[in-house]
Amino acid sequence: MQIDDKIWGCKRGTDGRVQFGPKVVNSESCGDHEYGSEWDEGAYRYKCGEGNVKEFVGCIGAGQFVPNGEIKKISDFFIECKKHENGTITLLVAPDTECKDGRGHKVEEGDEWVDGSLMFTCGKGGKKKFMGCYTSSGDFVPNGKTQSVNGFDFECKQHVNGTIEMQRLGRSIGVKCKDDGGFERDQGSEWEEGLLRFRCGKKGITEFMGCVTPSKVLIPNGDVKLVS
C-alpha cells in the first residue's frame, strides 16, 4: 500500500512477529524467508531485515563466509567481498603474495629453499615455483630433466596436477665402466685383470669375457679349450 508517497508493508510471520513499516525503494522482499533468517544464493548470502527487506550480508568463498566490505585470507588466497552503491556485487580472489617454505616461514622473492629432497624458488607475485629434485647422493636433477648420477639415469618431474615424482630409469646410455684399479673404460673396450678378461658392455655394464692363458690365448667363459 502507498501512503504519503511511501510504500508500506504489513506481514505477520509464523513466529507471531508482525513486520510493519515503509519499504526501501527498489528493494527485494524476503519472499518466504522469516525475519532475521539467512540463506545463500550461489556465492552470496542474504538476510531478511526490517520491513521484510532482503539484505546482502556477504559472500561464500572457498566454502567460508566473507562479510560484505571485508577481505579474508583463506588457505593461500585473499578473498574480498563488496557490494557497491549501484547494487553490483564483486567477489575478488587473489593469491597470497608471500612465498612460504614447508615450515611456514616467509621467503623473499628470488630466494630458493629446499624442502626434503625438493628445491623451490619464490617467483614474481609470491608464486612458489618447483625447480627440481636432489638424489640421495646430493646431486641435483632439474624439473622436467633426466640426468645421469653414478651411472644411472634419474628423472625429476612435476605433473600437471601438481604432484612431484623422481624415479631411477636405469643405467645411463653413455656411462663408462670401471676396472679393478678404478680406471674408466669406454663401452666396447676390453681389458685384462691378471688372468681374466673383461669388456665394457652397453650402459656401462662390465661383462666377464673369459680367462687368458700365459700364452695370451682367451678361453671364453664356460668353454674348454686345448692350448699347446
Mean pLDDT over 53-82 rounds to: 83
Q: Give φ, ψ of 148 to 5 degrees.
A: -85, 125
Nearest Cα to Cα of residue 115 among 124, 104, 126? 104
First to last CA, the chain: 128
Q: What is the pTM of this model?
A: 0.40
In this prediction, residue 8 carries a pLDDT of: 55
pLDDT surpassing 70 at residue 193: yes
**Cα 5 to the chain's mean position, in Å?**
60
DSSP β-bridge partners for residue 61:
64
Higher-confidence residue of 39 and 226: namely 39
Q: Per-residue pLDDT for 135 more than 70?
A: yes
pLDDT band at 120 (very low <50, low <70, confident <90, very high): very high
If one compares 40 and 20, the residue with the highest pLDDT of the two is 40
